[in-house]
Amino acid sequence: MGKAHWVKALRFKALRFKALWFKRRLLMASVSTGLVSGLVFALPAGAAQDEETNVQNLPPVEVTAPPPSTARRSAPTRAVAHVGAPSSASPKTRIYVYPTAPGTGRGLDVDKVPSAINAVDPGQIKRTGSLNITDALRDNIAGVNISEATGNPFQPDVEFRGFVASPVTGTPQGLAVYQNGVRINEAFSDAVNWDLIPTAAIRSVTLVTNNPAFGLNALGGAINLQMKHGFTYQGAELDLMGGSFGRIQGSAQWGKTVDKNYGVYAALEGLHDNGFRNFSQSDMRRFYADVGYKAGDSEFHANMGVAKNDFGASATVPAELLDKYWGATYTTPQTTSNRVGYLNLTGKVDATPTWTLEGTAHVRRYEQKLVDGNPTDTQECTDPGLAGLLCFGDGATPANGTNGLPLANPFASGTILGEIDRSSIRSTTFGVSGQATNTDQLFGHDNRFVMGATYDASVTRYNAAAEIGTIGENYVVSGGGLFLGPTGVPDTVAGPVSLRTVNQYNGLYAMDTFNITDAFAVTAGGRFNVARITLEDQLGTDLNGDHTFTRFNPVIGGTYKITPELTAYAGYSEANRVPTPLELGCSDPARPCLIAAFLVSDPPLKQVVSKTVEAGLRGSRELSIGTLGWKVGGFRATNYDDIVAIPVPGRTGFGYFSNVGRTRRQGLEAEINIKSPTLQFQASYAFVDARFLDALSIGSNSPFADGDGNIQVSPGNQLPAIPRHRVKIGVDYAVTDVWKVGGNALFVSSQYLVGDESNQYAKLPSYTVFNLHTSYQVTKAIQLYGKIDNIFDRRYATYGQFFDTGAVPNFTNGGAGFTDPRSLSPARPRAFYAGMRVTF
């Protein structure tokens, strides 16, 4: 950290509430970081509580101030950080820091961070009433947008600045996600399964931008989750809620510090939801626990988690079906089953007053099973020489069974055929990392140097198979007991897959923040990534491959504290992501595959490189109504050799991955918020302009496609599924000491449909949603609360794409063909929820 000008607390003011049971003291502290007041409440002993945060939603770090010195530049000393440490005789104060590397240790003084500050605290998470951390990200970070490409609210896509972290296998991923310093993008496709994250156990969330230290996939940034433990959370809490669409959910958490040296924490969550769509039941079960040990300036933790979740209705729906019934589904079954278990070990040692050493080791086991009913390219053979057989694709290529022989056609002539695609992913990941931080002065100036190394290895087994069946008038696919084997001569175009992949990711990073003056700091560094991906076909040799990617990504930036309440920042960085095993196994346009099912080829893909510049201003100020925080910033990120998934027209679900040249994402983010004991207000605006920079021709089901099924993308065309404007407003007000009311509004502008990269079709309409919530403190231990989502019952879609209108008839229109090429993800209608929270 820079030379500390530790400022003692400005004032102590006792607050007395009318309720006899409730007393608390408010400590207003202002430190030289310029983020001024953090609010720290002392609740009744033993009562469960989340840490109060400052105006930028960051939890405090308690530090021991260095002894005073008569010389301006004395021998190197530093403040020693203690997160949630018990008080002692040593003088202490609280500061606010921001992560600059994946480790779990203390970050960098926020005034020295040369990028935007984006954070969410436990109070904001709790106000959503959701077990989905993505809801809190959407409501509280200006640039975040949520869409439901899966059609299930518990498996959303998170889009930030035009980059996506999605649970959908096959979505090109542009955000890295870390939990307690461990990257949790899944090994096979870099997908992010938000449903596996234990939301109740989250201590803080930061969205770090312009920083290559977070490794692969951090093109648009890294979402950094820090979890609770016994030193940061004490007490117990039980939370139960129920409401519309059969929702029943509950969570319990408990934390305790034992003899000041040991901390124990555990959280349990469960949810059942019938969903508003047909076949859309969801069930989630999650458990998280942490055991910590602290001695002096050393701290060690062992934490583990397990989850078992099942979801239905994970797909978009033709717009014409939604016009008839908002809860419609298309070609079911559509089910997803996710399982995970993990163990993380972390340690931090202050080896000397200026050297801190950190280390992590982790193991993770992840399993996913998908069952997906679809239209099929298997049909009655039209070639007279193949009468009585089933063919694939063109009516003249026999469809083979698993025994390699042509499949006889057991279905009556004119039967509408479909298929049930089943796939499974089983991944085991092991990793270790180490980091060292030094705060010795350099040339008589304060300096912070961080260096670290990471190693992760994953082994994945991927299997897929397709069962041919029939599609009924309710769009349910019934299996016929016929399983598709290797089909196509000389090249296989369909069939079962059994693939083993090995990922080895190595990273070495270093970053230095040098205080040229007390107000002006410069940060520079970089990370060197090495990735090796090996594919081993378990049924043949078509998928075999061995790929190695290397890249050094630099970063440079600076901050200048213009006044005690105003800081300017600017920075430039580069980041990369390597093709995933899924993308490498499906990248030949001449031999497309069923995305997330059939993999049939293995030509090379280039890694994606993103170059980003961002700059802005941020500040805070004490007002009579509370602490005011604000920020405004701009960014521009250019991707080189960007990878997109390209569909094959007329072949439902089939496509391939390809490098498409350069794309650019640029925009503006602005936010203002107020925090006080009685009022919390937040308003933000984000503008994102995402475009192709190179011309290309790609396949599409667009009605504007040419005779070959291609559309022509021109430089300057906007990227689909990225709304340009996002406006968010939220307010919470304490009407009395025990009654609070609040609400929020969200506006998302129109966006192009996926498949309309040429920007010729009408956009998916914009939408505005209003939500309300309230809580009442019945006693010191019991709180009742309720909320209404989508209070005006708006019907809108968060995601849309084109589909093959001729694959299956429109049974709701007498079996005629579909005329609207859009397939949409409908948002949840108005919903009412009520719950009770009990603390001990």
pLDDT mean over 450-463: 95
Task: Say yes or no to pLDDT of 305 above 50.
Answer: yes
| Per-residue pLDDT at 93 | 60
CB atoms within 10 A of CB 252: 16
Q: Average pLDDT, whole number, for the chain?
A: 86
For residues 74 and 813, give the distance between their C-alpha atoms in angstroms, rounded to a whole number: 83
Q: Is the pLDDT of residue 792 over 60?
A: yes
How far is C-alpha 801 from the geometric centre of its chain's CA atoms? 21
Q: How confident is the model at residue 395, as a pLDDT? A: 81
On the question of pLDDT at 707 being above 90, the answer is: no
pLDDT tens by residue, 540-555: 887 888 999 999 999 9
Q: Is the pLDDT of residue 760 over 50?
A: yes
Distance of CA 305 to the CA centre of its chain: 18
Higher-confidence residue of 778 and 66: namely: 778
| More confident position, 175 or 490 | 175
- Residues 399-444: tens digit of each pLDDT: 999 988 999 999 998 899 999 999 999 999 999 999 999 999 999 9
Query: How big is the chain by its Cα radius of gyration, in Å?
Result: 27
Give residue 392's pLDDT band: very low, low, confident or very high (50, 70, 90). Answer: confident
Comparing CA positions, the residue from 760, 765, 656 lying closest to residue 714 is 760
Measure the CA–CA gap between 222 and 612, rounded to whole angstroms.
14
Q: Is the pLDDT of residue 652 over 70?
A: no
Q: Region 825-837: what's the mean pLDDT?
A: 96
For residue 119, give the nearest of 15, 38, 233 by alpha carbon. Answer: 38
- 786 confidence band (pLDDT: 50, 70, 90): very high
Q: Measured between alpha carbons, how far is 777 from 94 in angstroms, rounded to an integer? A: 29
Dist. CA 280–CA 335, nearest whole Å: 9
For residue 100, the model assigns a pLDDT of 86
Q: For residue 589, give the DSSP letter.
A: T
Question: pLDDT tens digit string along 159-205?
Answer: 999 999 999 887 889 999 999 999 999 999 899 999 999 999 999 99
- Identity of the amino acid at 234: Q
Given a contact cutoff of 8 angstroms between Cβ atoms, the answer to whether 130 and 632 are in contact is no
> DSSP state, 213?
G
DSSP string, 410-467: -SPTT--EEEEEEEEEEEEEEEEEEEEEE---BTTB-EEEEEEEEEEEEEEEEEEEEE
34: pLDDT strictly greater than 50? no
Q: pLDDT at residue 136 above 90?
A: yes
Per cent of the chain over pLDDT 70 is 86
User: Do 522 and 516 contact (CB within 8 A), yes or no?
Assistant: yes
The one-character DSSP state at 126 is: H
Q: What's the confidence (pLDDT) of residue 414? A: 87
How many other CB atoms are found less than 10 A from the CB of residue 351? 12
Tokens, residue 44: 């009744």
pLDDT of residue 62: 59
Mean pLDDT score, 740-764: 96
Which tens digits make up the pLDDT trace of 614-646? 999 999 999 999 999 999 999 999 999 998 888
